[in-house]
Structure 1
Amino acid sequence: MFNDVDETLRQVLLADVPIDRTEVEITFDRPTREWSSRLARPTLNLFLFDVRERLDFRDDTWTVTRNANGQAQRERPPRRIDLSYMVTAWTNEAADEHRILARVLACTYRQGRVDAAYLQGSLANATVPILLRAMPPDHLAKPTDFWGVMDNELHASLTWVATVPLDVFAPVTGPLVVTRELQVGDRLGPDRETFIEVAGVAHQKGDRAAGIGNATVTVLDTSHRATTDSQGRFTFSPIPPGEYTWRVEPPGGRPVERRIKVPSENYDIEVEA
């Protein structure tokens, strides 16, 4: 995934600075002395030197969606990761280096959120925005020590941080809970009453994911009546065990009736589109 971030930043720089590929090369290498000695033309280098979670963006709230097979899919949001890049320009003349860095710095201030047109690879399907921000010089502690480790001369640099999603939690898929039973009375006595809470979906025929919102669902010969939500979901509680006729009246459509036993494995009702 990190390579997708590299390519995304490359596209941002090419379009926003802008950078001519024939004049300046964009690389993502370790800026060692050996590396810089091999450069044959002006180069803008983005070195990834720090990776850490952005804790103020952490969200452990589960979301539940219903897939086309009628199953519930539970997902946790992705972790948000800060990727910190040291940006340096390598040229023969100091004036050219300063000119490149100035234009790149202006770009980092303009680009707070990456436009979808620049997103590469897996980032194109990200469910959260890709954020960018320029950081103050102290984001990199002791630059002289860094350049000593690289065995290279001290070089002017910018710090550019990309906040990207990392999907570390696989979605959990399983059947929806559609029946809940409530028993009232002495747990060991013979006079216990049983009531059932049920949940279902009114959906287009052949497509369980196409829920019909604002439909009226009625259990005939009872007082139970409900209006579906935007995803076609409805609930009834309490219903005594038995067999009932359910009627669905979609907005602007033909009513549908279906015999359903309570309790049952499924309370969904198909409606002709």
Structure 2
Amino acid sequence: MIHEVDEVLKGLLSGGALSGSGIDVAFDAPTRDWAARRNSPTINAYLYDIREDVNRRQRGHVAVHDERDVIVKRRQPPRWFRLSYLVTAWTKRPQDEHRLLSAVLATLIPRELIGPSELPGALGALGLTIPLSVAGIQTESRSLAEIWSALGGELKPSLDLVVTAPFPAYPEYDAGPPVTEGAAVRVRTLDDAPVTDERAHRPSQVAAVREARAAARTTDRTP
């Protein structure tokens, strides 16, 4: 699931306002060593935090359909996880980095939601829309200063990008065979003999059959 989100982000960051610019998109940790090896303008999206969005947790079961739209399995609802990325721009001049960050904002701000048709693999198969937020208020326990300190680098202008993605819950349980016939009631006579080809699907039909047979028996006993 995480690598599929990376794939989606790479497509977004390579398009929009940056389409045709030839800017590299990397997911490496932006350490001093990485920065020293970089030799071209780059947008870096470093995944620094993964945690469940417990407010989205659901109970019950979700039906799994086959190609005929028949329910074949059931599973628990997916669990949602917040993937937090530290987005930075790397060039030789701060002004160019600021231009790249502006282009990233122009590209991502309109994309508050990503539809299933834009999602690859198992992520798209879930048929769910995933939210995306950029440069929002940071509510995680890790501050940006702590992140840069852990990376061994100097504090740099950055955007906090959060993608909340579903992760399938397992195991799956086989569903019972589909119902192909309606409910049927077989009527018997007083001597417990089955009535041939007698079916009724509603209580009113059952009552009508019983009344008709009771009337027939009364007529037969009349002298």
Partner of 1:57: 56
| TM-score where L is the length of structure 1 | 0.61
* Aligned twin of 1:227: none
Give 1:31's aligned residue: 30
Structure in which a larger fraction of residues adopt strand = 1
Q: Deviations over 1:216-269 (max 9, x none)?
A: 7654658xxxxxxxxxxxxxxxxx9x78747699xxxxxxxxxxxxxxxxxxxx
* Structure 2 residue aligned with 1:202: 180
Counterpart AA for 1:162: V
Secondary structure of 2:28 counterpart: coil
- 1:56 is displaced (CA, Å) by 1.2
Which has the bigger relative contact order, CA under 8 A and spacing at least 6?
2
Structure 1: gaps (5+ residues): 177-199, 204-215, 223-239, 250-273
Q: Stretches of 4+ moved more than 3 A in 1?
A: 63-68, 115-118, 137-142, 216-222, 242-249
Counterpart contact for 2:15–2:107, Cα < 8 Å: no
Greater Rg over alpha carbons, structure: 2
Deviation (angstroms), 1:120: 2.3
1:131 corresponds to 2:131: yes
Q: Percent identity?
A: 29
Please give the secondary structure, in 2, of the residue aligned with 1:136. coil
CA contact 1:217–1:246 (8 Å) conserved in 2: no
Structure 2's unaligned 5+ residue stretches are 202-223
Equivalent position amino acid for 2:33 in 1: E
1:20: how far off? 2.8
| 1:164 to 2:165 alignment | yes
Cα distance in 2 between the residues matched to 1:66 and 1:147: 46
Q: C-alpha deviations, 1:110-169, integer Å up to 9, x for none?
A: 111114453223222123212111243534643223212211121100011111111132
Give per-residue Cα distances to partners, 1:7-40, cap 9 Å, x unaligned.
Answer: 1111122232333362x10010101000011011
Partner Cα separation in structure 2 for residue 109 and residue 34 of structure 1? 31
- Give TM-score, length-normalised by structure 2: 0.74
User: Which residues of 2 match residues 168-183 of structure 1 at below 5 A?
Assistant: 168-173=169-174, 175=176
Indicate whether 1:40 and 2:39 are aligned. Answer: yes
Q: How does 1:85-234 map to 2 (within 5 A)?
A: 85-136=85-136, 138-139=138-139, 141-173=142-174, 175=176, 201-202=179-180, 219=185, 221=187
CA distance in 2, matches of 1:57, 1:95: 40
Query: How far apart are the structure 1 equivalents of 2:44 and 2:170?
Result: 33
